[in-house]
Amino acid sequence: MADLKPILLVEDNPNDIELTLAALEKSQLANSIVICRDGAEALEYLRRQGPHADRPEQDPAVVLLDLKLPKVDGLEVLAAVKGDPRTRAVPIVMLTSSREESDLVRSYQLGVNAFVVKPVGFKEFFEAIQDLGVFWAVLNEPPPHRADWSAGG
């Protein structure tokens, strides 16, 4: 079980963090959950910089990324991650309350793997998070470790 990849939750709303953690726990996923409360911290984590310089080299199974974040917003994080060859294969799910079509379009232009509008109701939000956790942490087949990729990949 040591090779289980963590789930990175990038969220600044304490209520959404609490609900997300409860839903993932109820899914009985064995993956650890790492929480970053702003976009700058998320980038440091993914790049293994600053306080995260000593973290294991393993990339997250998925990044659950809020759109509206302090310091560096979700779209900027998405652009930085997908624009960097070291991190572009990390799956990112934009998890947001935004229903703006421009946010949806821009997210896909930048390479998001999925765009999920946070359901307003507690039960629906809980179920959506459980489904996301199970899909990305258990069902999805990730690419091989980037050191195994050919020079053309």
The model's pLDDT over 26-74, given as tens digits with 9 standing for 90+, comes to 888 888 999 999 999 999 999 999 999 999 888 999 999 999 999 999 9
pLDDT higher than threshold 70 for residue 145: no
The secondary structure of residue 148, as a DSSP letter, is: G
Domain boundaries, the chain: 7-139
What percent of the chain shows pLDDT beyond 90?
Answer: 54
- Label residue 143 by pLDDT band (50, 70, 90): low
- The whole model's pTM is what? 0.85
Going by C-beta distance under 8 Å and a sequence separation of 6 or more, which residues neighbour residue 41? 10, 71
CATH architecture of the domain covering 7-139: 3-Layer(aba) Sandwich (3.40)
Residue 130 is predicted with a pLDDT of 79
Q: Measured between alpha carbons, how far is 115 from 136 in angstroms, rounded to an integer? A: 13
Instruction: Give pLDDT tens digits for 71-87.
Output: 999 999 999 999 999 99
